[in-house]
Amino acid sequence: MKKILILGGGFAGVEAAIKLQKTKKFDVTLVSDRDYLFLYPISIWVPVRTLDFEDAKLPLSKIQKKHGFKLITEKVKSIQAAENKVELQSQTLQYDYLIVAFGAGKMQPKGVEFTGTICGQPDQTLAYRNKLDALIAKGSGKIAIGFGGNPKDKSAVRGGPAFELAFNVHHYLKKKGIRPNFEITMFAPMEQPGAKMGRKALSMMADMFRHQDIKTAFGKKITEFQADGVVFEDDSKLQSDLTMFIAAGTGSPVLKESDLPLSESGFVKINDHTQVEGYTNVYAVGDAAALEGPDWKAKQGHLAEVMSQVATHNILATESGSTSLKGYQEHISILCIMDTGDGAAIVYRDAKKEIMIPLPIVGHWLKKAWGLYAKWSKL
């Protein structure tokens, strides 16, 4: 059997491992630096204690036991694609096919250590929850929630979770009866953050900011973070007792130690078939890849899974001698259930349409149900 090596235990890597193992045609190995799949879309509830931290995790050993692929829990040091090998911390692995699915790195603006985040390492979400608990125990304060951009790759921005967290924190404080004691401000360097989701979604969020008394600081570049706030390019400062910041993505540090072709932002260059430029047996999917497509394209979990399905199909086609390869660009879309704590809205955008459907009350439970389905579907 030919060996397929998959790097990354997130949505993209797990999807590829399951799909390829089901064919029973390959020796499939998944390598992850964590021993669990972290469900980032529902981890927004961890800081507001709607969800326990452990419930946002799904052990990879359970998925491996169900499907039968091999699992190695270890960090990747480098990829030497010209030699068909990957160096881990304690061993070197050879492969016939490689799928790079280990996500992205994060940009590091000045003073980022003064912020917390919900889109970094999973334990950072837990740390932010504890800091929010401490501020609530104090009884009042200023909360800043925002995200940054990557001018070299606008698809590598994670704005949705920041919006969801702001709405959920508002709802959480309101339930406790202490919302008037706290000032919540959303910040981002874009003039219209969230515009990728479409005009209807942008209008809906503006209405929600006004209705929930969430202040905004948009359109100014971030100079640095300090212990007591955010400094912008015009030297103005957003005072904050607790700052949550989602940094834009950039290429994983592992890729700097590898021989794969990289974009200006450090992501792996691929063609529409998810094949890495210059290689017929190496694929890159999800956040690790440099996406091509419309200006509003965004890296999301559902697209990462679709890219893994495309890669799986194309590996099978190549092995069978077929030239009928699939592409990922026709599947580019934005899809999310934007949770507000007491409801949600379904947001969808593709090349032909923009949809935004408010779902008071039931929307929140719909996203809860998706979280259960996300686990069940992997098992």
For 121-156, how does the pLDDT look when each residue is reduced to its tens digit (9 = 90+)?
A: 999 999 999 999 999 999 999 999 999 999 999 999
Radius of gyration of the chain (CA): 21
- How many angstroms separate the Cα of 266 from the Cα of each of 70, 180, 289, 336? 29, 44, 9, 26
| pLDDT of the residue at 242 | 98
- Secondary structure string (H, E, C) spanning 295-361: CCCCCCHHHHHHHHHHHHHHHHHHHHCCCCCCCCHHHCCEEEEEECCCEEEEEEECCCCEEEEEEEC
Taking the domains of the chain in order of start, what are their residue ranges?
Answer: 2-104+251-331, 109-248+333-378
Helix (H) or strand (E) holding 175: helix 160-176
| pLDDT of the residue at 194 | 86
pLDDT band (50, 70, 90) for residue 89: very high
pTM summary value: 0.95
Domain 2-104+251-331: top CATH class: alpha beta
Percentage of residues in the chain having pLDDT higher than 70: 100
pLDDT at 20 over 90: yes
| Tokens standing for residue 191 | 């003039």
What whole-number distance in Å separates Cα of residue 106 and Cα of residue 92? 26
Arithmetic mean of pLDDT, 246-256: 95
Coil vs helix vs strand at 255: helix
| pLDDT of the residue at 186 | 97
pLDDT in tens, 186-227: 999 999 998 888 888 888 889 999 999 999 999 999 999 999
| pLDDT of the residue at 200 | 82
pLDDT at 266 over 90: yes
pLDDT at 77 over 90: yes
Arithmetic mean of pLDDT, 11-36: 97
Residues in a beta bridge with 3: 27
| pLDDT of the residue at 219 | 96
CATH code for residues 109-248+333-378: 3.50.50.60
Arithmetic mean of pLDDT, 282-286: 98
Does 109-248+333-378 match 2-104+251-331 at the fold level?
yes
pLDDT in tens, 310-353: 999 999 999 999 999 999 999 999 999 999 999 999 999 999 99
User: For all residues of the chain together, what is the average pLDDT?
Assistant: 96
| pLDDT of the residue at 198 | 85
Arithmetic mean of pLDDT, 291-311: 95
Arithmetic mean of pLDDT, 291-309: 95
Arithmetic mean of pLDDT, 281-286: 98
